[in-house]
Amino acid sequence: MKQNDLTNMTYTSMFVAMAFVFGLITKFVPGLNLEMPQGGSVFGFPMVPLVFLGMLLGPRYGVLGGAVYGLTSIMLDGGVYHWVSIFSDYVIAFGVLGLTGLFKGALHDNVRFILAIVTVAFLRYLSHAFFGSIIFAEFAPEGVNPWFYSFVLYNAPYMLSSTAVTLVVGLLLRKRILRIAEEAGLVSV
């Protein structure tokens, strides 16, 4: 393993640990612990370090870090409803957050930054909603189409709020993260 790979894996581990701690805070602090009945936090603070990870180290480490966070967050949620949801609600859904690394210069520009976060949050939403309409169809209220329930009534509200939280916190931290990353040699000026 090259030194650069080891350094990047170390940074990836740190960002995943940050996301996990944010998940703990979100889960156990009254007022922040609002979530949907079968999972889905209203305040998506763990998304913040994962989108920055992708922007700083690229999609390879971003997706890896997101997937690892997804697996560790199963512990926060206390289990899964169906084995497929391990992939759809955790590995894929959080892994796609690392795709912010595909948006070159997102840390340098507010518009690209917002576009990167909105895009990956939408991909996460699609993972939850598409598989949710199949796996969790039984939870749809009587007479409500499971696809409508999953896409509109269940996943859209918490993903919209999580995306908004990530955008606000991310925009507040963007310049500071960029400055720290430049000093650490992670981002070229």
What is the C-alpha to C-alpha distance for residues 118 and 101, in angstroms, rounded to an integer?
13
Residue 89 is predicted with a pLDDT of 87
What is the C-alpha to C-alpha distance for residues 155 and 127, in angstroms, rounded to an integer?
10
For residue 164, what are its two tokens? 């908004």
H or E segment to which residue 159 belongs: helix 155-184
Residue 189 is predicted with a pLDDT of 43
Residues in the chain, pLDDT under 70? 1, 3, 37, 188-189
Helix pair angle (47-57, 59-77), 10° resolution: 160
How many Cα atoms are found within 13 Å in the side-chain-facing hemisphere of 51?
Answer: 32
Residue 51 is predicted with a pLDDT of 98
Residue 135 is predicted with a pLDDT of 86
Q: pTM of the prediction?
A: 0.92
pLDDT tens by residue, 38-79: 777 878 899 999 999 999 999 999 999 999 999 999 887 777
Q: 78 Cβ partners below 8 Å, 6+ apart?
A: none
